[in-house]
């Protein structure tokens, strides 16, 4: 299959399901070889199976982004398998929501570990290869929660942190023809948002109806909506787009 990303290798963290899977699929559809790491072994194998049935080249590794050695190992294996890493998508994420007075140290550390340390671990591991080849596209997945969201002090701090991380990487790595950009999704239909509905004791449909009143396009998003934005940032032609945060939320954000 040939396409915009033919000859490119995309490394997607947390790509077993949801947004990460949608992004990996989009890169594969447009010709890229994809490497997916995830902590969920069962879902990861099902996704790999799905990609292979579609005829896509995929490398997978069970790895926790919060663990530097696991990320480093998966990055090295990907380069050995496919020859390079051209695109990194820092997508792996968890929520551990609670109002501040109920939030535990563990809730805080877990969320910081996956989103912030995870993105740091992966960016640090891939930069060597990207610098050597003088080409790279790093895409960090933030959230509209970076602007503040009740019950998410940990998550919103991590997602806002990723925006600062993006801008600094853009400054440091730009001269190597490596761009770093950030996508901040609004409400996207995935297991993560389905679990949130369950946790707060409403149906997913009730959560959707409550939300779309405030979404100008009148619908919630799908992983493919985020994949579109990722494909734009990953495009070779987007080489002058660097250090940006794109809110993909069906409307302007305040
Ligand atoms: N769904 C939304 O509405 C929404 C909105 C804004 C931002 N986001 C962000 O988008 C990203 C993807 O979210 P999603 O909705 O697809 O969630 P999801 O829970 O459906 O998928 C997340 C994936 O990351 C994996 N993962 C979790 N911890 C990991 C770790 N330590 N190492 C490796 N993999 C790990 C999970 O196993 C899962 O496969 C997350 O960063 C999330 O914060 C989601």
Strands 136-141 and 178-185: parallel
Indicate if ligand 1 lies below 6 Å from the C-beta of 158.
no
pLDDT of 21-61, one tens digit each?
A: 999 999 999 999 999 999 999 999 999 999 999 999 999 99
pLDDT of 214-246, one tens digit each?
A: 999 999 999 999 999 999 999 999 999 999 999
| pTM of full prediction above 0.85 | yes
Q: Whose CA is nearest to atom 36 of ligand 1?
A: 14
| Residue 170 to residue 192: CA distance in whole angstroms | 29
- For residue 205, with 0-12 CB atoms within 10 Å meaning exposed, 13-18 middle and 19 or more buried, which class applies? exposed
Atom of ligand 1 nearest to the CA of 226: 10
What element of type H or E holds 27? Answer: helix 18-29
CA of 175 to the centre of ligand 1 (A): 30
| Strands of 178-185's sheet in order across | 58-62, 33-38, 9-13, 87-90, 136-141, 178-185, 245-248
CA of 102 to the centre of ligand 1 (A): 23
For the segment 99-126, the average pLDDT, to the nearest whole number, is: 98
Confidence band of 68 (pLDDT split at 50, 70, 90)? very high
- For residue 175, with 0-12 CB atoms within 10 Å meaning exposed, 13-18 middle and 19 or more buried, which class applies? exposed
Catalytic residues: 155
For the segment 168-176, the average pLDDT, to the nearest whole number, is: 98
| Residue 19 to residue 191: CA distance in whole angstroms | 10
147 has a pLDDT exceeding 90: yes
| Residue 244 to residue 126: CA distance in whole angstroms | 20
254 has a pLDDT exceeding 80: no
98 has a pLDDT exceeding 70: yes
CA of 95 to the centre of ligand 1 (A): 8
């Amino acid at each position: 299959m040939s396409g915009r990303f033919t000859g490119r290798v995309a490394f997607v963290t947390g790509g077993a399901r949801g947004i990460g899977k949608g992004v990996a699929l989009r890169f594969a559809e447009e010709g890229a070889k994809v490497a997916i790491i995830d902590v969920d072994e069962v879902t990861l194998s099902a996704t790999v199976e799905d990609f292979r049935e579609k005829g896509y080249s995929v490398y997978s590794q069970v790895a926790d982004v919060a663990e530097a050695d696991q990320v480093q190992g998966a990055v090295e294996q990907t380069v050995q398998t496919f020859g390079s890493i051209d695109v990194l998508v820092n997508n792996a994420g968890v929520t551990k929501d609670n109002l501040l007075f109920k939030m535990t140290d563990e809730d805080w550390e877990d969320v910081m570990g996956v989103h912030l340390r995870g993105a740091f671990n992966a960016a640090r591991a891939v930069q060597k290869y990207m610098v050597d080849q003088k080409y790279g596209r790093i895409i960090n997945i933030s959230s509209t929660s970076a602007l503040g969201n009740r019950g998410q002090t940990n998550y919103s701090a991590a997602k806002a942190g990723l925006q600062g991380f993006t801008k600094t990487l853009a400054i440091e790595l730009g001269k190597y023809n490596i761009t770093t950009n950030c996508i901040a999704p609004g409400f996207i239909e995935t297991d993560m948002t389905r679990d949130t509905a369950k946790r707060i004791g409403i149906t997913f449909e009730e959560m959707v109806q409550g939300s779309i009143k405030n979404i100008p396009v009148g619908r919630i998003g799908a992983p493919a909506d985020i994949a579109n934005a990722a494909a734009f940032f990953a495009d070779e032609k987007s080489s002058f787009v660097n250090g940006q945060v794109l809110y993909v939320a069906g409307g302007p954000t305040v």
